[in-house]
């Protein structure tokens, strides 16, 4: 049961461990995460020490699933969750993106979040660079074409999110609606 990927006693069997799988196994078996981690160590799994998360919450299993369903695939220990994952988790749980980011950080993940990020910003994520590099005009225009916002609106919101954008005169006019496709 403990080495089962879904903590159900059936294949697939896991030789690597993620915190999500470990917490799921603890829940299913009625054990503590420390007991599960110790037992996995006895079985030859080389797991990092459990993060000091101030205790584990039921919702942690959900947050650690890449699909936010409490099942594999899991976010691996130490990996950086995407901002899209953080926003989807905020939407699913009703928490703010900042609360989700803080919880994931307590669970041992390095989360880089713009302080003003809101759930409604999901459509802007395409324009947010992974590093501190500047976002180009092409990415801004891609968001404009997908959302119907004006370039000025997209640029202003990205600035609020502390995203560096080119210093251009972004038009305030919204794009014309896209005509329906031919039948």
Highest mean pLDDT of the ranges 40-44, 89-93, 125-129, 157-161: 89-93
Give the pLDDT score at 133: 61
Give the pLDDT score at 98: 95
Q: What is the band of 68 on the pLDDT scale with cuts at 50, 70, 90?
A: very high
Mean predicted lDDT score pLDDT of the chain: 84
Does residue 103 have a pLDDT over 90?
yes
Q: For the chain, which residues make up each domain, given as ranges?
A: 19-106, 120-183
Q: What is the pTM of this model?
A: 0.78
Give the pLDDT score at 1: 67
Among the listed residues 114, 123, 104, the one whose alpha carbon sits nearest the alpha carbon of residue 164: 114
Give the pLDDT score at 100: 96
Q: Could you identify the residue written with the tokens 């936010």?
A: 68
Residue 62 CA to residue 12 CA, distance in Å, equals: 20
Do the Cβ atoms of 113 and 86 come closer than 8 Å?
A: yes
Give the pLDDT score at 124: 84
Give the pLDDT score at 115: 84
Does residue 131 have a pLDDT over 60?
no
The residues that bridge with 13 in the sheet, in sequence order, are: 4
Q: How far from the centroid of its chain's Cα atoms is residue 27's Cα?
A: 22
pLDDT per position as a tens digit, 2-55? 766 667 777 776 666 789 989 999 999 999 999 998 988 888 887 788 999 989
Give mean pLDDT, residues 129-136. Answer: 65
């Amino acid at each position: 049961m403990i080495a089962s990927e879904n903590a159900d006693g059936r294949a697939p069997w896991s030789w690597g461990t993620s915190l999500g799988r470990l917490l799921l196994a603890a829940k299913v078996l009625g054990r503590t995460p420390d007991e599960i981690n110790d037992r996995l160590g006895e079985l030859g799994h080389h797991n990092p020490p459990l993060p000091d998360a101030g205790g584990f919450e039921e919702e942690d299993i959900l947050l650690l699933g890449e699909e936010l369903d409490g099942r594999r695939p899991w976010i691996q220990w130490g990996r950086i969750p995407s901002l899209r994952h953080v926003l989807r988790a905020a939407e699913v749980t009703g928490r703010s993106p900042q609360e989700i980011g803080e919880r994931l950080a307590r669970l041992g993940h390095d989360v880089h979040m713009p302080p003003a990020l809101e759930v409604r910003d999901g459509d802007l994520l395409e324009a947010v660079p992974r590093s501190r590099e500047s976002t180009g005009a092409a990415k801004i225009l891609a968001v404009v074409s997908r959302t119907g916002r004006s370039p000025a609106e997209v640029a202003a919101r990205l600035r609020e999110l502390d995203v560096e954008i080119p210093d251009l005169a972004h038009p305030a006019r919204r794009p014309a609606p896209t005509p329906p496709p031919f039948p």
